[in-house]
Amino acid sequence: MAETAPISADFAPWEAPDAKPIIQFKNVTKRFGDFTAIDDLTIDIFPQEFFSLLGPSGCGKTTMMRMLAGFESPTEGTILLDGQDIAPVPPNKRAVNMMFQSYALFPHLSVSDNIAFGLKRDGLSKDKIADRVEEMLKLVQLSQFASRKPHQISGGQRQRVALARSLAKAPKLLLLDEPLGALDKKLRQETQFELMDIQEKTGTTFVIVTHDQEEAMTVSSRVAVMDHGKIIQVATPQQIYEEPNSVYVADFIGDVNIIRGTAKRADGDHVHITFAADHAPLIAATKRDIAEGSEVALAIRPEKIAISTEKPEDRNNAIQGKVLDIAYLGNISTYHVELPGGAVVKAQTANTRRVHRRSFTWDDSVWLSWTDTAGAVLVE
Amino acid sequence: MRRLSWFNTVSLTLGFAFLYIPMIILVIYSFNAGKLVTVWTGFSTKWYGELFQNEAFLNAAWVTLKVAVISSTFATVLGTMAAYVMVRGGRFYGRTLFSGMIYAPLVMPEVITGLSLLLLFIAIGLDRGTLTIVLAHTTFSMCYVSVVVSSRLVTFDRSLEEAALDLGCTPFDAFKSVTLPIIAPAVISGWLLAFTLSLDDLVIASFTSGPSSTTLPIKIFSAVRLGVSPEINALSSIMIGIVAFGVITTSLMSKRAITRRQAEENKAVQ
């Protein structure tokens, strides 16, 4: 299934100066009474992207999607689809289809009638509709369930019917509202790859709303991390993870250690961060322009921190600490280590050996170390 | 099956005796051979025979049926429309007032509804007859329909309608091809409720009926004032039979539908 890379390595229209976006939000604001759901938001989404809107509930991601579908209209600003303002276009006239979180399958219609529903509204001939339904059923591998009613199939199958129904009209843009939220974890992971595969096959632009960061990381070409109606960062999953632009993003995606301190310019791309009075400053590489003496946060992922009994010589940063706690997760273990200043840092190692043979345990004194490029220097 | 305790047995017996003894007595006496209602003289079905000879009763039955079918149909259409707007219309100006006013006739004394309708019909110069009864019954039963339908609409997943719009339906098309088929059971029970209300209404009908259009309840009521005849017993027994048949079939049908659906769902999960 995953043998075709869903997003080829050089797919990056957002970096091409002449690429034409399929969707443009231009200074869009949406208010519900006193509540501002979307706050002066500007973003371009390009054809064939798998674009994720990620954020906690109430961050405005669903409102953005509903504005694209036509169920809400912006209070201020414009939304362009293929260069055209879509504000005056009602939902039934938009070349946009949506897959609902609850799937919203019509309970009184069979699987194939559900898929045919939108096609019938287009006034296609019976044969054409039947062919297209057949094609869609094959795409989602549900041909043998064509005549079942939605309540006669399992949750995972319903999810695929909903997908087939929303793709049947070959929309320019497919909106997916928490498409995998109702599935259990294993099925969700399988379905993520299926989604990517289908997106690749159909070449449709997908905009997906999710609060599951792992899902966003897996499927997306780009992720927009949102908070309080604003986009905090838009970037590829790798950039979001490795080079977050704020503590919020670093903290939202995956596990992270935040070490706060005062920055001091060092040579070239490096800064020194003083985090405790009695400890040598940490060295970190950054391309950002950091003002002398400003308060910064160093964000380091636990898996980028090595843990050892001896002080390593080849890494720029090494701190001695005491093991407070060990979380054993099977494939990996997370060590909670207390630093001299009292801060607790998490370090992760793969359990390549059996647990009873590991070299440190509770209350052991250990060295934590990382390189100058391991973390991201963030200004708040 | 669990055996009931003596206390529960007694409560159950008392309760049901209270509910059903009057009806049972009525049915038994409808098979009485004698003319006196309270003295048993032997088994006979002659009162049923005589009932079907009685032109006046048959006429009244026909009027009642006609009124019930037409008025409950109108009430269902109006009540469903009202319920839809109340639940789906969003927060338009005066919504709370309107939804309160839709339910007000539920608690309005029938005498007042009847009287005000009578005054209205006189004021606009409408001759009382079958039409006025239909109008009156539509008026008072539509609020029952709207209660039943709106309670269904409240739990209706709105995203189903949005999905229909998203797939190219106009709002009316979405209502017709998605909402209506799904809420159909509630609409049908609303219709049945309106139908039975119309069938047994005496007070409002007596205000709004004319000389040519007597409904069955009016006919029975006026006949009883001259003394209860076994014919009335026979008529009432038939009505009990019809109602019981209707109630039992609908409950059996819905029970079977539920079991079938559960079986299908189990099959699907496997």
**pLDDT tens digits, A208-236:** 999 888 889 989 999 999 999 999 999 99
Return mean pLDDT, chain A: 89
The pLDDT of residue A16 is above 60:
yes
Q: Which A residues in the span 119-148 are in contact with B, Cβ-Cβ below 8 Å? A: 121-122, 148
Measured between beta carbons, which residues in chain B are less than 8 angstroms from residue A107? Answer: 182
Pairing of strands A317-328, A332-338: antiparallel
Q: What does the alpha-carbon distance between residue A370 and residue A304 come to, in Å, rounded to a whole number? A: 7
Task: Quote the tokens at residue A238.
Answer: 């790798």
Q: Could you tell me if A153 lies within 8 Å of chain B, comparing CB atoms?
A: yes
Pick from B163, B182, B268: CB nearest A153: B268
| Contact at CB, A91 and B165, closer than 8 angstroms | yes
For residue A43, the distance in angstroms to the closest alpha carbon of chain B comes to 23
The pLDDT of residue A283 is above 70:
yes
Q: What percent of chain B has pLDDT over 90?
A: 40
Kindly state the average pLDDT of the residues B162-186: 93
The pLDDT of residue A7 is above 60:
no
Segment A140-191, tens digit of pLDDT: 899 999 999 999 998 889 999 999 999 999 999 999 999 888 788 888 888 8
Q: What is the pLDDT of residue A5?
A: 45
Q: What is the pLDDT of residue A6?
A: 46
| Contact at CB, B169 and A90, closer than 8 angstroms | no
Q: What percent of chain A has pLDDT over 70?
A: 97
For residue B261, the distance in angstroms to the closest alpha carbon of chain A comes to 8
Q: What does the alpha-carbon distance between residue A104 and residue B158 come to, in Å, rounded to a whole number? A: 9
Give B70's pLDDT tier (boundaries 50, 70, 90). Answer: very high
Q: What is the pLDDT of residue A355?
A: 66
Q: What does the alpha-carbon distance between residue A197 and residue A141 come to, in Å, rounded to a whole number? A: 13
Q: Is A27 left (phi over 0), alpha (psi -120 to 50) or beta?
A: left
The pLDDT of residue B266 is above 80:
no
**B169 or B250: which carries more pLDDT confidence?**
B169
Q: What does the alpha-carbon distance between residue A145 and residue A138 come to, in Å, rounded to a whole number? A: 11
Segment A27-68, tens digit of pLDDT: 999 999 899 999 999 999 999 999 999 999 889 999 999 999
- Of A232, A206, A221, A216, which Cα lies nearest the Cα of A43? A232
Pick from B167, B268, B269: CB nearest A118: B167
Q: Which of B91, B167, B172, B261 to mutate to test the interface with A (most CBs of A within 10 A)?
A: B167
Q: Under 8 Å CB-to-CB from A363, ≥6 apart: which residues?
A: A322, A323
Every domain of chain A and the residues it spans? 13-95+171-247, 255-379
CA distances, A4 to each of A1, A132, A216, A217 (Å): 7, 24, 19, 17
Every domain of chain B and the residues it spans? 26-251
Asked if A305 and A368 touch (Cβ cutoff 8 Å), the reply is yes
Q: Note the pTM of the prediction, 2 decimals.
A: 0.80
- Of A187, A257, A167, A181, which Cα lies nearest the Cα of A216? A181
Q: What does the alpha-carbon distance between residue A289 and residue A282 come to, in Å, rounded to a whole number? A: 17
| Contact at CB, B166 and A91, closer than 8 angstroms | yes
The pLDDT of residue A2 is above 70:
no
| Contact at CB, B167 and A148, closer than 8 angstroms | no
Q: What does the alpha-carbon distance between residue B245 and residue B259 come to, in Å, rounded to a whole number? A: 21
| Contact at CB, B163 and A154, closer than 8 angstroms | no
| Contact at CB, A104 and B160, closer than 8 angstroms | yes
Residue of B nearest to A101 (CA): B159
The pLDDT of residue B1 is above 70:
no
Q: Could you tell me if A184 lies within 8 Å of chain B, comparing CB atoms?
A: no
Q: Under 8 Å CB-to-CB from B97, ≥6 apart: which residues?
A: none
| Contact at CB, A92 and B267, closer than 8 angstroms | no
Pick from A71, A100, A151: CB nearest B264: A151
Q: Could you tell me if A32 lies within 8 Å of chain B, comparing CB atoms?
A: no
Q: What does the alpha-carbon distance between residue B229 and residue A217 come to, in Å, rounded to a whole number? A: 84
Give B116's pLDDT tier (boundaries 50, 70, 90). Answer: very high
Residue of B nearest to A151 (CA): B265
Domain B26-251 coded CATH 1.10.3720.10: yes
Give per-residue burial for A185-202: e unless 16+ CB within 10 Å, then b: eeebeebbebbbbbbbee
Q: Options 3.40.50.980, 2.130.10.10, 2.40.50.100, 3.90.79.10; which CATH number does A255-379 get?
A: 2.40.50.100
Domain A13-95+171-247 coded CATH 2.40.110.10: no
Measured between beta carbons, which residues in chain B are less than 8 angstroms from residue A93? Answer: 168
For residue B155, the distance in angstroms to the closest alpha carbon of chain A comes to 14
The pLDDT of residue A4 is above 60:
no
For residue A28, the distance in angstroms to the closest alpha carbon of chain B comes to 22
Task: Quote the tokens at residue B86.
Answer: 């109340």
Pick from B165, B265, B269: CB nearest A92: B165
**A357 or B220: which carries more pLDDT confidence?**
B220
Residue A285 phi, psi (nearest 5): -85, 140
Sheet holding A50-54, edge to edge: A96-99, A173-177, A205-210, A50-54, A222-227, A230-235
Q: What does the alpha-carbon distance between residue A255 and residue A241 come to, in Å, rounded to a whole number? A: 10
Q: Which A residues in the span 76-115 are in contact with B, Cβ-Cβ below 8 Å? A: 90-93, 96-98, 100-102, 104, 106-108
Please, is A215 exposed, middle or buried when counting C-beta atoms within 10 Å of its C-beta (0-12, 13-18, 19+)? Answer: buried
**A17 or B160: which carries more pLDDT confidence?**
B160
Q: What is the pLDDT of residue B212?
A: 80
Measured between beta carbons, which residues in chain B are less than 8 angstroms from residue A153? Answer: 268
Q: What is the pLDDT of residue A1?
A: 37
For residue B255, the distance in angstroms to the closest alpha carbon of chain A comes to 17
| Contact at CB, B157 and A98, closer than 8 angstroms | no
Q: What does the alpha-carbon distance between residue A171 and residue B123 come to, in Å, rounded to a whole number? A: 59
Kindly state the average pLDDT of the residues B200-204: 90
